[in-house]
Structure 1
Amino acid sequence: MEIEQPPVDRERIIPTGERRGLVLVHTGKGKGKSTAAFGLALRAHGRGKPVLIYQFMKVPSARFGEHRIFEKLGVPIIGLGDGFSWKSKDLDHSAELAREGWARAEATIRSGDHFLVVLDEIMYPLRYGWVPLEQVLTCLRERPTHVHVVLTGRGAPDELIALADTVTEMTMVKHHFKAGVPAQRGIED
């Protein structure tokens, strides 16, 4: 590692646009997409803003770490699915749940009642064709101007990336699974 001098001067750029709701996308093959979205949810909740989290691949009865803490904090986190496709016993039912889940999420976004809406793992239903991309894009374009929406999952479609205000691609540099270390509660759940 090369030692650097701390910066002492910095050009300050002052934004000239209006504050408005943002569309944020967390995508890529690396870890941390949902975790980053949950961090934003905590930040907004900490400022007293109404937040709602939808998880497209988790079952409604899921009790992972994020469910436990959000429940304690009073942040609704709602499972809309029946697990990842490789665990599903009926993909037609999985698709139906995704469409029903999208209808709920769309109504929430359009209502304007929440400052932040998280659509966790929505990229899977989009990529599988269970939720029409154009419906999601239209809703994001037409949402109330104060509503922020975070969408997570691998393989974000180019059209969504083009529409988004901020896109972060998580890149895997190294992963403990490859060294044979199993998933651990409190880290991967």
Structure 2
Amino acid sequence: MIIVNTGNGKGKTTAALGQALRAVGEGKKVLMIQFIKGPWKSGEDESAKLLAPNFLLRKMGRGFVGILGDSLPREAHETAAREALLMAEKETKEANWDMLILDEINNALALNLISLESVLRFIDAFPKDKHLVLTGRDADKEVIRRADLITEMKEVKHPYQAGIKGKRGIEY
């Protein structure tokens, strides 16, 4: 099954983590590869350690792209996104994951950090007996066309609009 969590609201990664938790609870093995999120610590890092080896989290991103003080050259983000997709391809061929989560891959596509063609090739070749979850804003229409399940998160109200910063354990 191909699952897409997209939209401008909070909860895309959180929903994918919920899928992972449910899958691990049923004895499945899950790999989550993060395309944008950088090396900073987040709550899911510690949770992943508790669920290992049935749940592994790989942060491949270099952080937010072009915002919030990003001083990296664009090429660094492009390289990180390409390496994340290469890892996904390698793990799909060599490991026995029941579910693969490509966190913020839609963002990486929308930012042109990786090519749409390479992502579509990956989706099209993905084993039909496994589950693929793609998260992030602005999911491409071709990604959506290939999905079996699509959820669009809609922002109605967010504390950030009132100047309230993200809370550890809630948003990261």
Which amino acid letter does the alignment assign opposite residue 132 of structure 1? S
In the alignment, the residues of structure 2 paired with residue 134 and residue 92 of structure 1 have an alpha-carbon distance, to the nearest angstrom, of: 19
Query: By how many angstroms is 1:110 displaced?
Result: 3.9
Q: Which of 28, 33, 47 is equivalent to 2:26? A: 47
Q: Is the 8 A contact 1:82 1:88 kept in 2?
A: no
Q: Which of 123, 129, 133 is equivalent to 2:116? A: 133
Higher gyration radius (CA): 1
Worse-superposed segment, 133-142 or 68-77? 133-142
Seq. identity, % = 41
Task: Kindly report the root-mean-square deviation, in angstroms, between the aligned alpha carbons of the 2 structures.
Answer: 1.3
TM-score of the pair, normalised by structure 2: 0.91
SS of 1:119's partner is strand
SS of 1:76's partner is strand
Query: By how many angstroms is 1:98 displaced?
Result: 0.8
* Equivalence map 1:24-173=2 (5 Å): 24-59=3-38, 61-74=39-52, 75-85=55-65, 86=67, 87-111=70-94, 113-173=96-156
TM-score of the pair, normalised by structure 1: 0.84
Which amino acid letter does the alignment assign opposite residue 42 of structure 2? F
Q: Is the 8 A contact 1:27 1:170 kept in 2?
A: yes
Moved over 3 A (4+): none
Which amino acid letter does the alignment assign opposite residue 73 of structure 2? D
Distance 1:140 1:110, change over 3 A: farther
Q: Is the 8 A contact 1:124 1:154 kept in 2?
A: yes
Match of 1:177 in 2: 160
Which amino acid letter does the alignment assign opposite residue 77 of structure 2? S
Number of equivalenced pairs:
167
User: Which whole-Å deviations, capped at 9, do the CAs of 1:1-55 have from their partners, x for residues lacking one?
Assistant: xxxxxxxxxxxxxxxxxxxxx0000000000000000000011011111110001
Q: Is the 8 A contact 1:58 1:80 kept in 2?
A: yes
Q: Is the 8 A contact 1:23 1:149 kept in 2?
A: yes
| Structure 1 spans left out of the alignment, 5+ residues | 1-21
Q: Is the 8 A contact 1:110 1:143 kept in 2?
A: no
Match of 1:3 in 2: none
